[in-house]
Structures are given as structure tokens and as C-alpha cells.
Structure 1
Amino acid sequence: MTDDKNTRRARRREVTEQIPVTDMMAEAVIGRLGNVSETGMLMIASVPMNDDALFQFRFAIPGPGGQPLPLDVGAHLLWHEESNAPGQFWTGFRFLTLSREHRELLRAWVEQETSAT
């Protein structure tokens, strides 16, 4: 279980901007980022999720100069619960696949916020 503890202790970036998350299999936006680390994310989903499901997601983080940098991740749904807002769900994911290049971009973006606070 050390792996899970390290995953949960990874630095996270609270996402204040609206960053949509696309389910690549359904080819549809299914939510938006709540917070993210290089090991996982909290998503505010607009669709109900199945326990223990696997997903292929795409979302874009702001790059240098503000241009969007699309990232592709394979993710495992760890938990979900209804939020207070009708039709919205809090969902927690662990990243299973993330290319080295995308991981480095994501790490730099997370570090950028955590070093500013």
C-alpha cells in the first residue's frame, strides 16, 4: 500500500479555470478538472460513473504563452459520490498511463502553482 500513500501525497494543483475532460471512448466531454497531480485527478463529472471503471481521457492544461497543451491519460476510477449540485458527481482517478512527455508537462504545471503559494 505504500504506492497508494505516495500517490495520494503527490502535489496537487487546484484548478480554478474551467478545464473540460473528454472521455475519448465516448468522444464526449464528461466533466471538468477539480484538482490534478502527476498521479491522478479529482473530476467534477456531469455523468454517473461505474465503480472501478477504466477510462481514456484528454484534457488540456495551459502552456507557455497560454496555448492549450492537450494531455492523454489512462485512468482508473477509485471513488465517486454525488455532489450537492444536481447531476454532478465528485470522482477520484488514479492515472494508469501517461506518457513521459505529458507527465513532465503536468508536473511543471502543478509545480508552477505550488511554488507560487
Structure 2
Amino acid sequence: MIEKRRLPRKRPAAPLQVIDAMTGLVVGQIGNLSLEGMMLLADVAITDDALYQFSFQLPDEHGRLQPIEVGVHELWSDPTHRPGRYWAGFRFIDLGEAEAGVLRKWLGLSAAP
């Protein structure tokens, strides 16, 4: 299969929980990540066209978990075959410089110009 996305996406090797930073509740798990967004396997219904503040942790090159907090905009969501679970796509609208560096390393990309 040929990758048609503008930026490569990477799936985590182990489940990575995503927390709603406003409520502290687990929203779901990361399906995949890119520099511009993420796909989420959500355990809760996602509101169309909504803004969220999520937090999650990515392992660094030494296996230490690095915190990431990101503002996202929901682009799409679809129910899975399992009741109460949803696939959802988000674009990043607020990602700090330090968090972007952690994400770039996790994705295996070179440093930003």
C-alpha cells in the first residue's frame, strides 16, 4: 500500500492512553501520530468539530515517558464495530516547542529547521 498522507504516521508499539486535560478522564488510546495530528481509539463519543486539550506520554530513546499536552481540533469520527468505541481524527492546533521536539524524536524525524 502506498502512503498518500503528507506526513508519515507512526503507531505506538504499546498502548498509550490519552487523557482529557480539562477533566482528567481517560478518553482512549492513540491509534497513530504525525507531526500534525493523531488518530484516537476513543472510549467515549467525540463531539464533531470540537476543540479538546489532551495529554499523553511518549517514550524517549531511553524508554522514559515524556509528557505531551496538545490542543486538538476534531476532524472526523466513526463508530467502531464494538459498541461505545470510536475512531477519531484530530489535527494539532497547539503543540509547544518542547513537546514537538519529543514528538519529532519519537517519529524518527530530524530536528526542525
- Normalised to the residue count of structure 1, the TM-score between the two structures is 0.85
Question: Shift in Å at residue 85 of structure 1?
Answer: 1.6
Asked if 1:67 corresponds to 2:64, the answer is yes
Runs of 5+ in structure 1 lacking a partner?
1-7, 113-117
Question: Shift in Å at residue 23 of structure 1?
Answer: 0.3
1:58 is matched with which residue: 55, 60, 85? 55
Question: Shift in Å at residue 16 of structure 1?
Answer: 3.1
- Indicate the SS of the match to 1:52: coil
Question: Over aligned residues, Cα RMSD in angstroms?
Answer: 1.1
Question: Shift in Å at residue 102 of structure 1?
Answer: 0.7
Partner of 1:103: 100
Runs of 5+ in structure 2 lacking a partner?
none
What is the distance in 2 between the residues matched to 1:64 and 1:14? 16
- Normalised to the residue count of structure 2, the TM-score between the two structures is 0.88
Identical columns (%):
39
Asked if 1:87 corresponds to 2:111, the answer is no
Asked if 1:30 corresponds to 2:34, the answer is no
What is the distance in 1 between the residues matched to 2:12 and 2:80? 17
What is the distance in 1 between the residues matched to 2:62 and 2:46? 35
What is the distance in 2 between the residues matched to 1:41 and 1:15? 11
4+ residue runs over 4 A deviation: none
Give the letter aligned to residue 71 of structure 1. Answer: I
